[in-house]
Amino acid sequence: MRVKIPVLCVLIFFMIKTNAQQAGGTLTLQQSIETGIANNLTVKQSELAMQRAGVGYRQAKGNMIPTLNANVIHGINQGRTINPFTNTYINQQLNIANYGLGTDVTLFNGFRLLNALKQNSLAYDASRMELEQAKYELTIDIVLAYLQVLSNEDQLALSKKQVALSMEQVERLETLHKQGAIPPAQLYDLKGQLASDELSIVNNQNALDASKLALAQLMNVPYDKNLQLERLNADQFSMTYAGDPESIFQTAMRELALVKAAELRKQSADRGVKAARGGLTPNFFFTAEINTNYSSAGVREIILNQFNDTTSSFVSIGSNNFKVITPSVNTTTEKIRYVEQLKNNYGTFVGIGINIPILNSFRARNQVSLAKIDRKNAEYTLQATHIQLKQAIEQAYFNMKAAEQRYRVLQQQVDAFTLSFHAAEVRFNAGVGTSIDYLIAKDNVDRANINLVSARYDYVLRTKILDYYQNKPLW
């Protein structure tokens, strides 16, 4: 069904986008949203929270990989120590070095690592949804502020038209007053009306400046009183909104990032309980190690020559004494080279072990209890999200229908008062009607037009809120 709208209101409500506007550097709704998202600190903090969750997820994946660690030690030992080659005590300065390479592999720990990986994965997904929610909430705020600026611009333009019309009548009556053709009261009544219309310009200008300030603050940019916004097309706003509270709620349950984030947090908490329970099970592990070392005390003897040495001892055989001859060698020492020591001292170790938690200050059980509390809190958060969302949608839908009804009634009122004012204006200009009749008719149509402008944008704002709950594009 086609809706009749007075031509004057159509011109005030909407201005079609033109190339001239684009050339003038006007700010579009999309630019406003992009600027706000780029500058908003809450969005940036949500992005940092997502990055932190991403680091936790990468760490959980890294915990599934076997550890591999190398160690290199070079040092100087002073005083009494053990010679690693003779295993005897010595008292001298030693230069030592040790090289090692070891690995540990968790074979089984009650699926703790696997559940922790899934827990962090879900937490990361929840953080991404929370970032999207922060962006979308800021988007709806900017859209509402943008539309409020347009509404105030329309009301200001309407006020200026009212002043122009009143000034025309004042100028006409001043001419008639000089000619003595009208009572002075008629002129003064119109001048009073002109002052009232001029006061409306002041009030509407202040409201427009305040709405521009609110929009600038949402975008986190310096306030510019001369900010110009690109107007929106009339066909962007439909006066018939599809859907009912229940269908909108069901769509929100599927599409809204806020709900997805709460559900993911609950799933993450479920995995957290399973991961904590893994601390109550034995831990099977595999370990391997390679080691070698060097010491400046490492020396070896080198035989220079061999000879028989006659000692002072003797052996008696019968009545004869024979000297004891023992073989002897002349030796010298030399340090064992660094690389040779590392090669000779090479050793390996391989083992499989089990770590059985028996008593650890009840740490594992307390971690399970804390994880269960976190899970219950996530469940309550999810339930509260559903309840609050349903209530908010019902209230928003009620407000939208009320705004729609108000707008349609005001349309009829504007039509009626426009015809009434036209008739009063004709009679007044012809000198038949009184100034009181004219002012009453003018005041009625002015207030009706202002209310219609306000009602139109109020309805649009209400529909945008419902669009937000359904994750629909807002521009």
For the chain, list the domains and their CATH numbers: 7-39+109-281+360-469 (1.20.1600.10)
Determine the pLDDT at residue 236: 57
Helix, strand and coil content of the chain, in percent to the nearest 5, comes to 60, 20, 20
Closest alpha carbon to 82 in 63, 96, 71: 96
Which pair of tokens denotes residue 109?
């720990």
Which pair of tokens denotes residue 296?
């400046």
3-state class (DSSP) for residue 86:
coil
Q: What's the CA gap between 441 and 443, in Å, rounded?
A: 6
State the pLDDT confidence band at 2, using cuts at 50, 70 and 90.
very low
pLDDT tens, 182-236? 778 877 877 888 898 889 899 999 999 999 999 999 999 999 989 899 887 544 5
Q: What's the CA gap between 445 and 384, in Å, rounded?
A: 47
Q: Give residues with Cβ within 8 angstroms of 453, minimum separation 6.
A: 9, 12, 13, 151, 154, 155, 158
Percentage of the chain with pLDDT > 70? 93
Q: What's the CA gap between 425 and 256, in Å, rounded?
A: 54
3-state class (DSSP) for residue 350:
strand
pLDDT tens, 100-121? 999 999 998 889 999 999 999 9
Cβ pair 167, 194 in contact under 8 A: yes
- CB neighbourhood size of 134 (10 A): 22
Cβ pair 96, 73 in contact under 8 A: yes
Stretch among 38-52, 266-280, 433-447 having the lowest mean pLDDT: 433-447
φ/ψ region of 283 (left if φ > 0, alpha if ψ in -120 to 50, else beta) reads beta
Cβ pair 427, 451 in contact under 8 A: no
Instruction: Look at 312 and 164; give whichever has higher pLDDT.
Output: 164
Closest alpha carbon to 31 in 301, 219, 269: 219
Single pTM value for the model:
0.76
3-state class (DSSP) for residue 165:
helix
State the pLDDT confidence band at 99, using cuts at 50, 70 and 90.
very high
Cβ pair 12, 448 in contact under 8 A: no
